[in-house]
Structure 1
Amino acid sequence: MEDSTTPDLRSLNHGLFQLTLPNSGRQMIAWFIGIVCFLVTGILFWISLTIPDIAPTNEAYNMHPDEVTSNEVRLLGKGFKSDETGAYLLLSGEIQDGIIATGYCSQDDEGNWQSNTDGYEHGSIMILPSNGSSFNITWYRELSPEFNAFERDCPTDDWEISQGDVVNLFLLKQGNDLWLLSAAEEGLDAPEKTGREDMQRIALLTTAIGSVLMMVTTPSSLSSDLKKIRKLSGDMIHLHGSPGALEPSKGPVRSNDESSWILSVPNHTIWSENPYMADEGSELIDEHPIKVGTPSPATFTLYSINGIIFITATTWLASDLLARHGSGFHWFAGNVMRLGLVIFTIIWAYLAFKRWKLVHNIIDTPTSKVRSVAVGAAELVGQVRPGPEGTLSFNVGGDESRLVEGAVAYKWVEEEHVCRGSGEDRTCSWETRRKENASVPFMLHDGTGGILVDPSSWEKMDYGGSLHRWGGGKWRWTVHVFGAGDPVYCLGRVETRKDDEKEEGLDGSIPNAQLIVRGNKDVGMETKLNRGTEFSLLSSLRSTTEAIIVPLLMLVSSIIPFFW
């Protein structure tokens, strides 16, 4: 029975927006990384504003520096001083004196050879163009030198691009100064100078990484509140035995987790000795959906806001890589990103819709009371209690020191920590050596009555978190349990029990005693048998806006780079 200290779950109506902060260690780590990414974004963007914005090579004039007139000179713009002017030139010539680039061979970690040719920044270079007199140039000190060279056959001696070599040049003429922006060997194009753009692109990438990390780890508004309420409950000891003869179980205690009771545990002192009969007072358990209703999540949380930031950043980045000048790598990266973005948003929208549909099927399916449930598909919520066969007792891995009691269904796995290989190729993982599972029919009791459930008829049961894990050194044992006293959500088919399925002395005057719930596939929807109540399943519920509308808008937005 609900008292004045019981939190009111019906008050969970979160309105337009709720700030949902991480509530687990992994989420906090992801958020920390995300916040660092946003800080890095700000730093990178600020740095990018100090980098000169160099024009594309196709806007440069193909002429001798001496031929430049005021018609070719223009304000240089962003990254330069406000009154700086100059002319961009593109021409080829033979090196008369000086070194423009040097090269060497190197090996990667796998022993593969590769050639490297880098601009040589020391000293000036004298160039003799095909038409006109020679002139001296110097690498532009505000930017790193870029030189485009052919691959060499390695291994070989170091080389240099110097006197007698013909090169293609991308220059900036400022008054009497000639600055070399980039260069290439004859037959290759001088590289574009995209330092400012690339810094801003990296900033967009860190924004995307930070926002997607924070998006996928942002809890729903309901899960945050339910976790706070659940913390009011402590650990729970399962009960062991048969109806009317129960005692606290030996072995591990159920720790509070995401599948535990949110409100107070129905106390076994009010249980009827006849497991099919109503509890004292004949009232529904506090956490029954009929009693607490359906919560309403916030329309927006940081999940959708970070999702919008992610799609905006990646759409902008993909469009920028394709729209602004750059190398072949920029074009390739832009195309990969815009295709990947569409695939990501399609998967996101599909998974979001699938989850939304599943949750709303649960919401839209009326929860029956055990005492009045009819034969056919039914949704039931209640407490696990021992059935006619009582509860199970077993030793995990066959060791008496790992005794577990009070279970109606369990599975355990024995794993060995195995390492293979050596050095950088060494890998380690936990490998299964033994496993076991078993179950017995149990009672689902909602306060108004109990009904027999056959867990073996479900192909898959959701045990929630593990009951306990033992381990040390190279071995560990993990056990999952449905235990007497746990909350249970059941979506299955109610059937009339056959005579040979009824225990001796069954009270036939109780209608629900004649029934059994099984996980048959012909229910018309996905059958479920979960540890936890309906509220546990709905803790991840997001608003229709976040679950459907935002992903669809993001899918439409992801198509923008194809038309930019």
Structure 2
Amino acid sequence: MGRSLNELGLKKKSISFGTGPNGEKTQRSKAQDGEGWICKPPKIKSWNFDNPYEEDEQGLLIEHPQNTGTPIPAMFTLRSIIRLLQSLFFVVMAVLIFNQSANLSAIYFVLFMGILSFIFRYREVRKWRSMSDLPTSTIRSVAVGAVEVFGQLRPLKTWPEAVLVNNDPDMAVQGMGAWSWSYAYLFEWEESVAETDNEGNVIGYRWESRSSSYHVRDDSGNWPTLLHDGTAGMALNPKLLTLEKGRLVKDWKISDPGLWSHASQPSGDVRNMNAYHYLSIHGWSMGDPFFASCYAFPRPDKELNAEQIDRSIGTALLELTTTGNARGHPISVHRGTEILALRDMESGISALAPSLSMVIISVLILLAGI
């Protein structure tokens, strides 16, 4: 028995990338559960803006999977054993119900839940297996077709313009590669709720928090971005950056009691009524870690000509995209290295044993009953 990758408690860092040679700035890359940088990545001042496709002086990123290796899950973990025991408990309860009532409904229910769970977990196992079996390439060695890559997001050509959330200069966000912001009215209050006994008699009251929101407007966009792993850079198709919403980069909560005129007043006994302008921006910022299981595909000549690409640079001729037809190759992205992308990975037997036990035992009971 071992520990799952998610239980190892890998220490992630909140990274500041400093300022570039011409005043370029981006957002801190904040560590979150299962996301972020583990080792310190290159700062803006070390990025090659003149030749973004060329190799960095320090070479391959420290936490690239070719340096850290591919994680191998334990055969069983404490969590998987607990799930197996829970599954067996459900089966035992169904058998007891059957023995008392001679009704097979509980057995059929366990069988149905076991099949659903098996289908869901099997898909997860296939995804984990595909990601772990396919080596993570260095960008310098990427060829056309299905690939798995990891690197740092950087601007393709020029530095991104500041994103003005709600067109407000006081809410400018720097260095965004892909972004979406939203503006809503947020209402919060506490409401008195009755507590009752088993017979329905009111025995007291307690305060519970309540909230509602009213959407005002939103916007989204992206900036030409490339992925650089230290060996080379390669253009990113914007579709890859929209597969995931990205992290919450920044938010604002501005009190305004007058907003209650836009909402219906809560009824009943209420207190602590508050109203806010709530604005938030999600996305991917320059400097973020980016792991992708995707495809490499030739870039259109129109793009290459517009960028005046030196066609002797192989990585400049391709882009990372969602377009491809390799059988069984999953398309996914993650804000972190492969170790974090596979943090929930379990062995096949560990992941499937609970649902298989429910299915097999239920089928045997049904066959015996028939």
TM range (shorter): 0.7 to 0.9
**Structure 2 match to 1:132:** none
Structure 1 match to 2:322: 519
Cα deviations by residue, 1:18-68 (Å, 9 ceiling, x for unpaired): 3xxxxxxxxxxxxxxxxxxxxxxxxxxxxxxxxxxxxxxxxxxxxxxxxxx
Once the two structures are superposed, residues 296-354 of structure 1 have per-residue CA deviations (whole angstroms, 9 ceiling, x without a partner) of: 22222222222122122222222212313xxxxxx49x655333322222121111111
Task: Please name the residue that 2:361 is paired with.
Answer: 557
1:418–1:560 distance in 2 versus 1, CA, 3 Å: farther
Whether the 8 Å contact between 1:411 and 1:479 is mirrored in structure 2 is yes
**Counterpart residue type for residue 76 of structure 2:** F
Contact persistence 1:389–1:440 (CA under 8 A): no
- Map of 1:203-218 to 2, 5 A cutoff? none
Matched, 1:292 2:68: yes
Structure 2 CA distance for aligned equivalents of residues 254 and 355 of structure 1: 28
Amino acid at match of 1:469: D
- For 2:88, which of 306, 312, 315 is the aligned residue? 312
AA of the residue aligned to 1:495: F
Which secondary structure state, in structure 2, belongs to the residue aligned with residue 340 of structure 1?
helix
Alignment partner, residue 118 of structure 2: 349
- The 10-residue stretch of structure 1 (458-467 or 252-261) with the greater mean CA deviation from structure 2: 458-467
The structural deviation recorded for 1:355 is 0.8
- Matched with 2:248 is 466
1:507 to 303, 310, 314: 310
Root-mean-square deviation over aligned CA pairs: 3.0
- In 2, are the aligned partners of 1:348 and 1:551 still within 8 Å (CA)? yes
CA contact (8 A) 1:470 1:478 kept: yes
Q: Tell me which of 215, 226, 231 is aligned to 1:448.
A: 231
Using a 3 Å threshold, how does the CA distance of structure 1 residues 266 and 557 change in structure 2: closer, same or farther? Answer: farther
Please state whether the residue corresponding to 2:278 is helix, strand or coil: strand
**Which structure 2 residues correspond to residues 125-204 of structure 1 after superposition, within 5 A?**
none
Give the 3-state SS of the residue equivalent to 1:323 in structure 2: helix
User: So what's the TM-score if we normalise by structure 1?
Assistant: 0.53
Q: Are 2:98 and 2:107, in contact at CA under 8 Å, matched by a contact in 1?
A: no
Find the counterpart in structure 1 of residue 107 from structure 2. Answer: 338
Q: Determine whether 1:254 maps to 2:29.
A: yes
**Do the aligned residues in 2 keep the contact of 1:370 with 1:448 (CA within 8 Å)?**
yes
Name the CA distance, whole Å, in 2 between partners of 1:303 and 1:498.
Answer: 48
- Residue 52 of structure 2: which of 268, 275, 300 is its match? 275
Query: What's the counterpart of residue 134 of structure 1?
Result: none
How far off its partner does 1:245 sit?
A: 3.9
Q: What's the secondary structure of 1:298's corresponding residue?
A: coil
Give SS of 1:310's match: helix
TM-score (ref. length: structure 2): 0.78
RCO (CA 8 Å, sep 6+): is it higher in 1 or 2?
Answer: 2
Q: Please, which of 521, 538, 543 is the counterpart of residue 347 of structure 2? A: 543
Change beyond 3 A, Cα 1:260–1:459:
closer
Q: Does 1:381 align with 2:163?
A: no
The Cα shift of 1:469 comes to 2.8
Alignment partners' CA distance in 1, 2:19 and 2:358:
52
The aligned counterpart of 1:64 is none
Q: Tell me the distance in 1 between the aligned counterparts of 2:147 and 2:18.
A: 27
Aligned to 1:483: 285
Counterparts of 1:57-136 in structure 2, within 5 Å, are none
Per-residue CA deviations over 1:385-404 (Å, capped at 9, x if unaligned) read 11114224112223333221
Structure 2 portions without partners, runs of 5+: 194-207, 255-274
Distance in 2 (CA, whole Å) between partners of 1:530 and 1:296 is 18
C-alpha change, 1:347 and 1:266, in structure 2 (3 Å) is farther
Secondary structure, aligned partner of 2:126: helix
Query: Which protein shows a greater Rg?
Result: 1
Hey, what's the Cα distance between the residues in 1 that align with 2:299 and 2:121? 39
Distance 1:494 1:304, change over 3 A: closer
